[in-house]
Amino acid sequence: MPLTSDQPDVSSAATYNRVMLKISGEALMGTQGFGLHPPTVRRIAEEVKSVHDLGVEICMVIGGGNIFRGLSGSAQGMERTTADYMGMLATVMNALAMQSALEDIGVFTRVISAIRMDEVAEPYIRRRAVRHLEKKRVCIFAAGTGNPYFTTDTAATLRANEMACEAIFMGKNGVDGVYDMDPKTNPEAKRYDSVSYDDVLAKRLKVMDASAIALARDNNLPLIVFGLDQPGGFRGVLAGEGTYTKVTN
């Protein structure tokens, strides 16, 4: 049963059984301007564990912007394909950091990379990844789609569809949903309780890149946008509590 903004607390069995959590690389750097902040990584890992403990099967995709962003490198004169591959490697580093934090608190994980690097991660094989989820391991998908010119937003939507996830949960820093304007710079910005994928594209609401939004829309995959910096936020939103925006058809 899909969740709604005014839905009371319910058990995980009544909401979603398998979900994708997409977070940015910047979410891992805390108050630092760059890199990884271990206490922040640990806090997010504990958020994931709180949902995993409900019996929910969890996939994760983490961006790499806290280490290197391919588009920024390209804008500064670097060849785009090379820059994008460097960004993919940054996502692997973040995935390994999250794996370490999760396993340190007792959650079994697998880092699954779209670029082969067998010494540190498994290669992406869909059926094997599904089996990991069935065994209640958190699957952290790294290296994007393995192709330049595609963002981790698109990778998250692609993997969510391949893994038959029932929804994508997008954790944001500093915002608790989708707004008509940037709430960080405009105090008059209004949050949507729900919005359609077509409106996201037409109004350029910058939830995800256009390719990811179109892929989610065409496969009728709900997207729930919430604030990751609120303790207990992930578990609360999964139960229909708290503040968030739901994007659907």
Has residue 107 got a pLDDT over 50? yes
Residue 173 is part of a domain; what is its CATH number? 3.40.1160.10
The 10s digit of each residue's pLDDT in 143-190 is: 999 999 999 999 999 999 999 999 999 999 888 999 998 888 888 999
Domain assignment of residue 36, given as a range? 12-248
**Closest among 30, 25, 144, 149 to 81, alpha carbons compared:** 149
Q: Are strands 109-113 and 138-142 parallel, antiparallel or unpaired?
A: parallel
pTM: 0.90
- Would you say residue 4 lies in a domain? no
- Would you say residue 221 lies in a domain? yes
Record the tokens describing residue 105, joined without a space: 């608190």
Residues 6+ apart with CB under 8 A from 191: 176, 177, 178, 179, 183, 243, 245
- Would you say residue 6 lies in a domain? no
The 10s digit of each residue's pLDDT in 19-61 is: 999 999 999 998 888 899 999 999 999 999 999 999 999 999 9
- Would you say residue 78 lies in a domain? yes
Report the distance separating Cα 24 and Cα 65, nearest Å.
7
- Would you say residue 103 lies in a domain? yes
Record the tokens describing residue 186, joined without a space: 């405009």
Has residue 6 got a pLDDT over 60? no
Report the distance separating Cα 20 and Cα 226, nearest Å.
13
Residues 6+ apart with CB under 8 A from 108: 135, 136, 137, 138
Report the distance separating Cα 45 and Cα 39, nearest Å.
10
- Would you say residue 199 lies in a domain? yes
* pLDDT computed for residue 196 by the predictor: 96
- The total number of structural domains in the chain stands at 1
% the chain with pLDDT above 90: 77
- Would you say residue 5 lies in a domain? no
- Would you say residue 1 lies in a domain? no
